[in-house]
């Protein structure tokens, strides 16, 4: 049996930085549960890249899977189960429970470990981690671990943070940063015990809330990972989550709950006006430069009625995003080209707030389970928004642009975000990366360790008309282990392929060959 003193050394080894609605709407939003929790999403799970794999010799375990239950940790963490599957490839599935926190899931390849550790986190409010999010990397050869964020429940339920006696600070800390770090440290320790040696390299790979956790790892625990892949990261959670309630406030105050088919007509018109204008229809290349005016659709007939001037005014305010009474901006709006049903849901003469911002206002800000969103005015919204920044920004924002410790640890980071993201305003990722460039010495110096790629037409993590990265983890592995920094990310959507360019460059059609072939596009505007 491994002695407790040895586990004390293993678990304390990482250096830390900083102390630092309605039932109908909820049921519909459970439909996006997979997107919020499946990490980088379907089609972009890590694959065993042959070029990268040559750097590491495959390793077999030095002990049985079942014997891992005999291990103990100095802090009382227990291995509650360890069982090997009969499937091919064989996997050792392990679960751990951290005191005063929650479970860690692991999947360890029995015959083909590639010497790498893979970490992943939960989306939304956490509480649940897809088994596939842990199993898929293990099938590809990674020692894989995942965290549910330190509690159990639905990713669309934020009530766990509240209690009648106050906010649950321990659970919030778990969700913010502790669960990801504990999973990483304990996961590496289990990996070392199982294979008889520590991982050669460690990678974080997640989308949405898991992307936020990856950025938090880089900011608070810069030695935990050699490479971090953060897709559509939920950074700025203190701002983008409350901003998701803005469309409902706009419609309620105007007395005009715009039906879905009118919103869809506005989106179609914006894409038609602001697409690449070169015969390529895969989404708005950069919504920030799209100046389409919804007033141009006044009078157009739709299946749910004629578009009115009042409809156009509501649309303009939703795209623009929340502002204070003096006109100054609070946060960004839903980008032109993104679906509007996520945050601007309506039913007949009433709104259907998304559970993500709905629970944020109810439990995290008003701290009252009986709070009624219909009482929220634009003036109240600004007050609540500032409260959100003040109370949760230092803990959850994950937007510290000083990544010097991560850079000095030779870490590499890839951030990518879809320009049609309907859940997390992609302008927030651009805002963060812009500040990162300013803090870390400019574009040339920053791109030595961190690069941003924007994906036109891609919705939250996956879906939409645009092409999303086919295997960004392989690109990250090559960068970390072979020094090959990605100039573009190869992206795919069905038969259509595209190069995703380093921000702010965008892919432009050369005018020759198929518009479905990435080879016929060039990056422009670096």
For the annotated catalytic residues, the residue numbers are 208, 421, 460
Give the number of other Cβ atoms within 10 Å of residue 521's Cβ: 22
Give the SS3 label for residue 321.
Answer: coil
Phi, psi of 143 (to 5 degrees): -75, 115
How, if at all, do strands 116-120 and 201-207 pair?
Answer: parallel
- Compute the C-alpha angle 143/149/150, nearest 5°: 105
Residue located via tokens 């639905």: 154
Query: By the 8 A CB rule, do 243 and 335 touch?
Result: no
User: Which of 202, 199, 190, 264 minimizes the C-alpha distance to 228?
Assistant: 202
Instruction: Please tell me what DSSP assigns to residue 16.
Output: P
Which residues are 206's β-sheet partners? 230
Max Cα–Cα distance, the chain, nearest Å? 76
60 closest CA partner among 109, 23, 123: 109
Q: Are residues 450 and 222 in contact, defined by beta-carbon separation less than 8 angstroms?
A: no
Q: If we measure between CA atoms, which residue out of 57, 193, 214, 33 comes closest to residue 121?
A: 214
Please state, in angstroms and rounded to a whole number, the distance separating the CA atoms of residues 272 and 337.
9
As a whole number of angstroms, the distance between CA 139 and CA 116 comes to: 12
**How many CB atoms neighbour CB 487 within 10 A?**
14
Q: Which residues, at least 6 apart from 272, have a Cβ–Cβ distance to it below 8 Å?
A: none
C-alpha span between 340 and 346 (Å, rounded) = 10
Measured between alpha carbons, how far is residue 292 from residues 51, 139, 238, 268 in Å? 45, 46, 29, 11
Residue 490, H or E segment: strand 488-493
């Amino acid at each position: 049996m491994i002695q407790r003193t040895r586990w004390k050394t293993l678990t304390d080894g990482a250096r830390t930085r900083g102390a630092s609605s309605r039932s109908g709407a909820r049921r519909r939003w459970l439909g996006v549960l997979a997107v919020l929790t499946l990490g980088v999403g379907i089609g972009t799970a890590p694959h065993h890249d042959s070029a990268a794999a040559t750097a590491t010799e495959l390793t077999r375990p030095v002990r049985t899977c079942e014997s891992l239950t005999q291990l103990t940790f100095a802090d009382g963490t227990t291995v509650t189960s360890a069982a090997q599957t009969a499937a091919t490839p064989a996997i050792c599935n392990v679960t751990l429970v951290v005191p005063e926190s929650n479970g860690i899931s692991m999947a360890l390849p029995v015959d083909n470990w590639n010497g790498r550790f893979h970490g992943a986190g939960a989306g939304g409010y956490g509480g649940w981690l897809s088994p596939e999010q842990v199993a898929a990397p293990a099938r590809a050869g990674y020692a894989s671990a995942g965290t549910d964020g330190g509690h159990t429940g639905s990713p669309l339920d934020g009530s766990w943070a509240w209690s009648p006696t106050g906010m649950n600070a321990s659970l919030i800390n778990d969700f913010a940063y502790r669960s990801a770090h504990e999973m990483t440290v304990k996961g590496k320790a289990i990996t070392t015990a199982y294979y008889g040696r520590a991982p050669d390299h460690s990678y974080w790979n997640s989308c949405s809330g898991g992307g936020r956790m990856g950025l938090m790892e880089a900011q608070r625990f810069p030695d935990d990972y050699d490479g971090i892949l953060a897709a559509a990261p939920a950074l700025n959670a203190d701002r983008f989550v409350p901003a998701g309630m803005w469309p409902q406030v706009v419609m309620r105050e105007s007395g005009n709950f715009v039906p879905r088919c009118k919103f869809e007509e506005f989106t179609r018109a914006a894409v038609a006006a602001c697409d690449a204008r070169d015969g390529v229809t895969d989404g708005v290349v950069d919504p920030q430069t799209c100046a389409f005016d919804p007033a141009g659709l006044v009078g157009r007939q739709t299946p749910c009625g004629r578009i009115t001037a009042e409809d156009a005014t509501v649309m303009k305010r939703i795209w623009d995003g929340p502002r204070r009474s003096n006109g100054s901006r609070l946060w960004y709006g839903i980008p032109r080209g993104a679906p509007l049903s996520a945050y601007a849901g309506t039913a007949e003469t009433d709104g259907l707030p998304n559970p993500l911002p709905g629970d944020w206002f109810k439990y995290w800000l008003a701290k009252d389970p009986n709070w009624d969103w219909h009482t929220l005015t634009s003036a109240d919204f600004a007050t609540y928004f500032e409260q959100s920044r003040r109370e949760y920004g230092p803990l959850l924002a994950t937007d510290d642009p000083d990544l010097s410790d991560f850079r000095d640890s030779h870490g590499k980071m890839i951030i990518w975000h879809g320009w049609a993201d309907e859940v997390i305003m992609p302008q927030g990722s651009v805002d963060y990366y812009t500040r990162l460039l300013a803090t870390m010495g400019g574009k040339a110096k920053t791109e030595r360790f961190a690069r941003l790629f924007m994906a036109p037409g891609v919705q939250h993590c996956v879906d939409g008309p645009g092409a999303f990265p086919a295997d960004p983890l392989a690109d990250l592995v090559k960068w970390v282990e072979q020094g090959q920094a990605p100039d573009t990310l190869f992206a795919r959507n069905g038969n259509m392929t595209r190069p995703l360019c380093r921000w702010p460059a965008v892919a432009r059609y050369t005018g020759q060959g198929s518009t479905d072939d990435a080879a016929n596009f060039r990056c422009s505007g670096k």
